């Protein structure tokens, strides 16, 4: 909503990048600094901030809340996983959920968050909602960090066309002293500290006007005592979930198994290919036949080292090529995916053709030229 308005006054004061992008960038920088796992955006509107945050690798749970279901639904499909997310599942897990409801009501789905953002939200709240807001966000949700941004009314005279408020839906706009006294009182009440900053610098000579968007960053003073605190907060669910996406992740055994099988076959194929090229090169020399020889490239060097140091040599016998699982497990990507050799064996069991003793991947090369 505020975005359109923004465009109107950029004629004279042109923020670069646009102010809404600066606000979102501010949150992204904060996420990169504090690395929260669970982030909720209250008054998320068209989910543009959530769309940006889903790329932050530390975040495992993202939630949005808005009182207007339609505005959330407009672009919520853009929060769904893309084909590439299925082709290359991420190592982290990520769940994105959108809820329809009001910040004036408590709902247990909002418990356990590390960071809660309220970007250009409070000025849209009616007085009774604004009164309840601190108890819901700071008292009930009680995340480690809360970020609240709101227009700074002292900047309004610098914005052409702004008569009373910047947006027709705004119920109020505070000057710096009003916002800061509300924020300090809220912080004091709920044991948070608060620091003030903003985005959208005033023009030279007008510094007293302050930032166009004023921001309060609240940090909880004392850690929460964990689960027990949450269980002391029984409340009925009042929000309606309108969207939920669970991203494919290697933490899910099903995706991990697929990734391991692909990587094992890929690694084994390369080793087989090298082995067979060498055989062609050295022909039937009984000393060198079927043996792997180190060569100039990294892969072969690495493999050569394994062969020499650990006796994990791939070999050809008749129409079969055998690539020891121990050799495959030594490759960093396979190793990182599986963690242990036992896990590797478990994940590929019945899915990859193995030698009779199960110690090597086996390929039949009867019909292969090379
Ligand atoms: N945060 C967004 C949009 C801010 S506009 C951004 O940065 O661009 C304010 C949003 O707050 C609107 O989408 C509006 O529907 C929502 N809103 C207003 N009152 C609300 C309430 N009581 N609870 C939750 N959301 C509310």
Distance from chain centroid for Cα 346: 29
Name residue 317's beta-bridge partners: 320
Return the closest-CA partner of residue 50 out of 81, 78, 73.
78
Give yes or no: residues 47 and 143 share one domain.
yes
Question: Is the CB of residue 110 below 6 angstroms from any atom belonging to ligand 1?
Answer: no
Distance (Å, rounded) from C-alpha 296 to C-alpha 110?
57
In a domain, 264, yes or no: yes
Task: With cut-offs at 50, 70 and 90, classify the pLDDT of residue 365.
Answer: confident
Q: Which atom of ligand 1 is least distant from the CA of 68? A: 15
pLDDT digits (tens, 9 = 90+) for 200-240: 999 888 899 999 999 999 999 988 766 556 666 768 999 99
Distances (CA, A) of 82 to 87, 88, 112, 247, 307: 9, 10, 27, 9, 41
Name residue 99's beta-bridge partners: 65, 241
Total of domains in the chain: 2
Q: Which atom of ligand 1 is least distant from the CA of 48? A: 8
Report the mean per-residue pLDDT for the chain.
Answer: 89
pLDDT for 8 equals: 45
Task: With cut-offs at 50, 70 and 90, classify the pLDDT of residue 275.
Answer: confident
Q: Is the pLDDT of residue 304 over 90?
A: no
pLDDT digits (tens, 9 = 90+) for 163-191: 889 999 999 999 999 999 999 999 999 99
Q: How much of the chain exceeds pLDDT 70, in percent?
A: 86
Question: Is the CB of residue 242 below 6 angstroms from any atom belonging to ligand 1?
Answer: no
Q: Region 353-363: what's the mean pLDDT?
A: 93
Task: With cut-offs at 50, 70 and 90, classify the pLDDT of residue 286.
Answer: very low
pLDDT for 191 equals: 97
Of the candidate ranges 207-216, 252-261, 306-315, the one whose mean pLDDT is the lowest? 306-315
Phi, psi (rounded to 5 degrees) for 113: -85, 150
Q: Region 245-270: what's the mean pLDDT?
A: 96
In a domain, 370, yes or no: no
Give the residue, out of 121, 136, 242, with the most ligand 1 atoms within 8 A of its beta carbon, to mutate for a pocket test.
121
Please tell me the distance between residue 204's alpha carbon and the centre of ligand 1 in angstroms: 32
Higher-pLDDT residue of 210 and 310 is 210
Q: Is the pLDDT of residue 321 over 70?
A: yes
Instruction: Give one DSSP letter per residue of 325-358, joined into a string.
Output: HHHHHTSHHHHHHHSSHHHHHHHHTTTS-B-TTS
**Is residue 150 within 8 Å of 213, Cβ to Cβ?**
yes
In a domain, 291, yes or no: no
Return the closest-CA partner of residue 143 out of 67, 58, 230.
230
pLDDT for 299 equals: 66
Question: Is the CB of residue 104 below 6 angstroms from any atom belonging to ligand 1?
Answer: yes
Full residue range of the structural domain in which residue 316 is found: 253-281+302-364
Give yes or no: residues 307 and 334 share one domain.
yes
CATH no. for residue 129?
3.40.50.150
Of the candidate ranges 103-112, 137-146, 155-164, the one whose mean pLDDT is the lowest? 155-164
In a domain, 83, yes or no: yes
Give yes or no: residues 276 and 177 share one domain.
no
Return the closest-CA partner of residue 213 out of 344, 361, 15, 19.
19
Q: Region 354-363: what's the mean pLDDT?
A: 93
Question: Is the CB of residue 102 below 6 angstroms from any atom belonging to ligand 1?
Answer: yes
Q: Which atom of ligand 1 is least distant from the CA of 71? A: 13
Query: What is the reported pTM?
Result: 0.85
Return the closest-CA partner of residue 98 out of 78, 82, 83, 114.
78
Query: Hey, what are 146's tokens?
Result: 């809360």
Distance (Å, rounded) from C-alpha 61 to C-alpha 40?
8
Query: Hey, what are 229's tokens?
Result: 């605190």
In a domain, 288, yes or no: no
């Amino acid at each position: 909503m505020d975005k359109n308005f923004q465009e109107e006054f950029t004629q004279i004061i042109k923020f670069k990048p646009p102010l809404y992008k600066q606000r979102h960038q501010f949150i992204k920088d904060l996420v990169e600094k504090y690395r929260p796992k669970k982030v909720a955006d209250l008054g998320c509107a068209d989910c543009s901030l959530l769309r940006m945050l889903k790329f932050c690798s530390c975040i495992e749970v993202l939630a949005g809340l808005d009182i207007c279901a339609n505005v959330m639904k407009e672009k919520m499909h853009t929060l769904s996983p893309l084909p590439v997310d299925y082709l290359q599942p991420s190592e982290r897990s990520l769940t994105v959920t959108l809820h329809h409801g009001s910040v004036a009501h408590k709902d247990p789905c909002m418990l356990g968050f590390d960071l809660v953002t309220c970007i250009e939200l409070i000025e849209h709240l009616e007085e009774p909602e604004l009164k309840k807001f601190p108890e819901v966000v700071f008292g009930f949700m009680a995340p480690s960090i809360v970020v609240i941004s709101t227009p700074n009314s002292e900047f309004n005279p610098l914005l052409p066309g702004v008569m009373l408020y910047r947006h027709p839906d705004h119920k109020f706009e505070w000057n710096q002293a009003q916002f800061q006294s509300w924020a300090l009182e809220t912080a004091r009440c709920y044991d948070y500290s608060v620091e003030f900053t903003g985005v959208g610098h005033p023009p030279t000579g007008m510094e007293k006007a302050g930032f166009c968007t004023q921001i309060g960053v609240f940090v909880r003073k004392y850690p929460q005592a964990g689960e027990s605190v949450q269980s002391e907060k029984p409340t009925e669910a009042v929000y309606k979930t309108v969207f939920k996406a669970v991203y494919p992740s290697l933490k899910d055994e099903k995706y991990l198994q697929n990734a391991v099988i692909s990587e094992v076959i890929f690694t084994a194929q390369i080793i087989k290919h090298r082995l067979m090229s060498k055989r062609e090169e050295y022909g039937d020399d009984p000393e060198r036949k079927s043996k792997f020889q180190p060569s100039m490239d990294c892969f072969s060097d690495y493999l050569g080292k394994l062969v020499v140091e650990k006796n994990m040599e791939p070999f050809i016998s008749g129409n079969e090529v055998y690539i020891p699982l121990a050799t495959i497990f030594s490759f960093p990507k396979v190793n990182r995916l599986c963690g242990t050799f036992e896990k590797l064996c478990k994940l590929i069991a019945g899915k990859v053709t193995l030698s009779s003793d199960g110690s090597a991947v086996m390929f039949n090369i009867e019909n292969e030229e090379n």
